[in-house]
Amino acid sequence: MLRQNKLAIVSHCVLNQNSVVQPLARSGGSFHQLVSVLAEAGLGIYQLPCPELIHAGMKRKPQTYEEYNTPAFEAVCRQAADRVLQDLSHLQAVGCDVRLLLGIRRSPTCSLTKNNGHLFRLLLPELIKGFPNMLIMDVPPDYIEGQSHEFESVLRQALQS
């Protein structure tokens, strides 16, 4: 069996920049270079759902954390978090281990550093309990696919440790 049972949990837009609100996309499709780093490290990739897309669709306007701080958006995030935790429980039961949680810095939904976004405010405590050794990192706001950025090296080095 070739399965290594190592996972990276990634924010939806790491794999699908098409879901990012206009004009904030930083890649034509995915953050291919980051995905390559994950693949080189032997990690499977679990793509989180995008609560912003679920809640407001593709024609949504950019919103802040405070603007998304509504009961309706909280319910969307709660439902998404519950599904993710259920999926990860199934994966963990067969030996999968989460090695990395990759968010998007300054995202109102998926930021992990400084202020947690709405989804990670719900998910992070449970993920830390279940996977206490996982790395927690955010894609920096100045990361643009195809442009040289130190984050790729930082990520590669962190995954080798």
1, part of any domain: no
149, part of any domain: yes
70, part of any domain: yes
25, part of any domain: yes
Given a cut of 70, whether residue 1 has pLDDT beyond it is: no
Q: What is the CA radius of gyration of the chain?
A: 15
Domain span at residue 16?
6-160
| Maximum Cα–Cα distance across the chain | 47
CA 133 to chain centre: 17
Per-residue pLDDT, 15: 95
Please give the tally of structural domains in the chain: 1
Model pTM score: 0.94
95, part of any domain: yes
63, part of any domain: yes
* Interval 21-44: pLDDT, tens: 888 889 988 999 999 999 999 999
130 and 151 in contact (C-beta within 8 Å)? Answer: no
User: What is the mean predicted confidence (pLDDT) over 140-151?
Assistant: 95
12, part of any domain: yes
* Interval 84-100: pLDDT, tens: 999 999 999 999 999 99
14, part of any domain: yes
pLDDT band at 113 (very low <50, low <70, confident <90, very high): confident
